[in-house]
A and B are shown apart, each in its own frame.
Chain A
């Protein structure tokens, strides 16, 4: 190397090299300071998680997410538009079946109810629920500064304290506070599922009525609209679970009942969330499976379906589906209780 340098025929003069070096330093220092925060500035992991909800509501953005859940990757186009009141979040699958979801947030209160992450920002808002703090059942650690989708992110790992749930690794955008990459890990550290932005941009022209040219394909696809109901509606639904004849005798600490629904066919669903994961308990007294049980897992999602026979002889199909280890799903399922024999076979 020394020889190559000394024998270069068109070597610049010393003053020129010095000027270039000074110019490079002058340009590089501000850029580096802006793009890469110093380690001393790393925020607390819990504070980062607490800011996720607000960050995702306040910023207009668009991008492409790639999800891997125990199979081939799936690409999803994402766009979050700010409206006069609230916002809209669009997801559209770019592979496979052309289908999308539009989540409408009428105001900033919707969907905050019952979610431990959101509750970090308003701890006294939902007194009806067990308000266990997230860091009581996850050990949160900072993994420093990393880079996702060409942006600097704070990396945080949430390790379950009890082994009843998956570990999570979350990568949060330094500039906006939006989650750019999310991973489910097994207790052995194996990557089970992930979703991450491979392209992300902050949108300036939010609130527009007509989609841009590159939105035409997305707009042409069918969208399932999910409206975010108010916290009062969600409270009402959760309260309706009290009328159910079915109870869970046990579930992992930190999970709280976040939603309850009962459809016309009598299928009841109880959704629990611990802020980073969800599972749903289904009780179905109308549909009898020809097999005694179904079980398994794919990526981070486990499903266990069993028959249950009450004392009165009524048979129900009970199931636990969610982003928890299969062993946890089995434990939850084993704790299903029929608290009233009357009405069990409704």
Chain B
């Protein structure tokens, strides 16, 4: 995977998480009108489908962006007057993407309010509401497992002949409770190790020192 693709994927992921800055959003929207348009849209749909899977929701993604684009194209006078300052393609794609997102959110909300209960709900601070009440299964606030197949690239050999490549890891759509706890504990272990190592290595003059009480679930190091 090239640096460019990695950057775009990170931007898409950040946008899906609601963490993209205004400047990056503008850049991403420009890319959406470029040659990578179809693959980017596919990835965008994938992110949302994976998020829906995480919540145990059934979701039927209907991409209406093409239809919206066609409708905008069919109204040349209106398009020229309202979007000419943004360039011909940018505004069209932005509108289409926005409508697609709203349509997706609408479907999710409707399904969530029905009889179907999500199998597991992962909390994300200030973005999502925790519905799962079992404390043993709560992931630390702010962190969540992801079932997307985004991987880093492994580069082997000397720097001169390293070839960047991405490796897909199979997507597992469902997790058992044991797997969930395993993931959660692994995250906590890494946070704990980082904190203790920081305390012993980082300049003690620069607080904060890290203590177990500051870990997400306040657990004691082993």
Contact = CB atoms under 8 A, between A and B. Distances in A.
Interface stretch (B71-79, B81-89, B105-113, B179-187): B179-187
Contacts of B175: 290-291
A294 B145 contact: yes
Nearest to B188: A303
A179 interface: yes
Contacts of A291: 145-147, 172, 175, 179, 183
Interface in B177-221: 179-180, 182-183, 186-187, 190-191, 193-194, 196-209, 211-214, 216, 218-221
- A interface SS class: strand
B14 interface: yes
B141 interface: yes
Given A93-B213, A97-B213, A226 B196 contact: yes
A67 B52 CA distance: 35
B206 A308 contact: no
Nearest to A112: B203
A221 to B, nearest CB: 11
A76 B211 CA distance: 9
Contacts of A308: 151-154, 167
B45 interface: no
Contacts of B176: 290
Contacts, number: 240
B211 A282 contact: no
A101 interface: yes
B61 to A, nearest CB: 20
A280 B153 contact: no
Contacts of B152: 306, 308, 318, 333-336
B154 A338 contact: yes
A341 B219 CA distance: 37
Interface of A: 52-53, 55-56, 65, 67, 69-71, 74, 76, 89, 91, 93, 95-97, 99-101, 103, 105, 111, 114-115, 117-118, 170, 178-179, 182, 187, 193, 195, 224, 226, 228, 234, 249, 258-259, 261, 269, 271, 273, 275-276, 278-280, 282, 287, 289-299, 301, 303, 305-312, 315, 317-319, 321-322, 326-327, 330-331, 333-341
30 contacts: A70-B125, A70-B142, A101-B211, A103-B200, A193-B208, A195-B207, A224-B196, A234-B201, A269-B194, A275-B206, A278-B201, A290-B175, A290-B180, A291-B175, A291-B179, A295-B144, A295-B146, A296-B140, A298-B140, A298-B141, A298-B142, A305-B190, A309-B154, A317-B186, A326-B14, A330-B13, A333-B152, A334-B152, A339-B155, A340-B156
Interface of B: 6, 10, 13-14, 19, 21, 124-125, 140-157, 162, 167, 169, 171-172, 175-176, 179-180, 182-183, 186-187, 190-191, 193-194, 196-209, 211-214, 216, 218-221
Given A97-B219, A308-B151, A310-B154, 7 more contacts: A56-B205, A96-B213, A101-B209, A226-B199, A258-B202, A296-B140, A298-B142
